Amino acid sequence: MIGMQDIQAYLPEMEETYKHLHQCPELGFEETETSAYILKRLAEYGIEGRQVARTGILADIQGSAPGKTVAIRADMDALPIEEMSGVPYASQNAGRMHACGHDSHVTMLLGAAHYLKDHPEQFRGTVRLIFQPAEEGFDMNVLQAVCKEGGDMRGGAASMIAFGALEGVDACFALHINGSMPVGTLGVPEERFSASSDIFELTIQGKGGHGSAPEDAVDPTGALAAVIAAYNALPSREVGALDSCSLSIGAIRCGEVWNAIPDSAYVTGGLRTFSNEMRDRVFQRLKEIAEGICTAHRCTASFVRHEGYAPGICNREMAQEMARTARVVLGEKNVTVLPKPMMGSEDVGYYFQKVPGVIGWLGGMTEAGPIPQHNPHFKIDLKALPCGMLVHIAMALDYLNR
């Protein structure tokens, strides 16, 4: 089995790659410089990459003999956050930051690609490299343009699949850095790993008027207050105690003048669950509740659901294989099977709906202690990079040679 001693020659290049990528963060479907850099690196290794889904990249590495095909996915977009990490290689793009560690994902996959291209005699079959845009989000106008070119309205992963990322693929896996876990550790989901992420918008239409004569107006604020109260009560009253459902109110807008009854009110929020059936049922109730309350308050309700990522579910056998393989290269005590999923969302689950797959959470915590993702102070310990590279290589070799 491959070990840390086998990849030492690749580590200086990995650190250089990471620091370059960290300094040029780009948003979803806008990763033009990132894509160009990836293609440049692949060409240096003798790997031909092709650009799809506007900024995504697909590439294959052939082994010494025919066999199965396994895909390794790395997302590569950043967030609209101003960096405050204090690292000397901080973002040079104002208001943009790799605050979720996708730069490390690209770096680890490029490192693994370099090694695998140098050692085709070590495996049969094919390794498919998937460098994916737009996991964090995207400008809807840009997404619509990508869809006209053949993409998918569900975002980066779904668009890569639409452009053939999984054609001929037998299995898929990925890693995600975690700034709250120690370097050298890996958490592997037992099965479920992430929640759905849907957004709702509700506009309550009333009739504006003077605050001194409410009888001449139709006040939407009473309906708004009643709707919010009902929404906050819904998870505890209509969802089973053993089921998971997170409903949050994110923004409220209604009026700006103290002595005027507003014409309308607006509220938006999100829903996260681990069941598509529950997603649909809760959204149906949100619409019914809003319409019923608004009717009682002589208002009208306009309810819109924006469907986000589906719940993420790993293949149990692939999860067991990742845990088993990682224990060999990282150490028995450094790999944990996670029975509980996170309430965050990840679009890698779309790949796993098509082929057996798994994602692992890789420790990247610095000596300063845990720093959560999506935080302007987020940073990782660069010693996590060879750990991820090693797991990628070991998983590919193990799966293809089994």
State how far the Cα of 3 lies from the Cα of 260, in Å rounded to an integer: 70
Backbone phi, psi, residue 145, to 5°: -65, -40
Q: Tokens 């992420």 map to which residue? A: 197
DSSP string covering 171-190: EEEEEEEETTS-TT-EEEES
The answer to whether the CB of 329 falls within 8 A of the CB of 386 is no
Name 338's bridge partners. 189
State how far the Cα of 214 lies from the Cα of 225, in Å rounded to an integer: 17
Please give the sequence-ordered ranges of beta strands (E in DSSP) within 120-197, or none if there are none: 126-132, 171-178, 186-189, 192-194
Residue 203: which of 68, 302, 309 has the closest Cα? 302
pLDDT of residue 137: 86
The answer to whether the CB of 386 falls within 8 A of the CB of 104 is no
pLDDT of residue 1: 79
Name the token pair of 176.
């995600």
How many other C-beta atoms can be found within 10 angstroms of the C-beta atom of residue 259? 7
Chain centroid offset of residue 356 CA:
18
State how far the Cα of 373 lies from the Cα of 96, in Å rounded to an integer: 14
Strands 357-363 and 171-178: parallel
Give, in order, the Cα–Cα distances in Å from 400 to each of 68, 124, 172, 189, 315: 6, 6, 12, 22, 17
State how far the Cα of 174 lies from the Cα of 314, in Å rounded to an integer: 11
pLDDT, block means (10 residues), the chain with 402 residues: 94 98 98 98 98 98 98 98 98 98 98 98 98 93 94 96 98 97 97 95 98 96 98 95 92 95 97 94 98 98 94 97 98 95 94 98 96 96 98 98 92
State how far the Cα of 214 lies from the Cα of 224, in Å rounded to an integer: 16
DSSP string covering 348-378: THHHHHHS-EEEEEEE--BTTB---SS-TT-
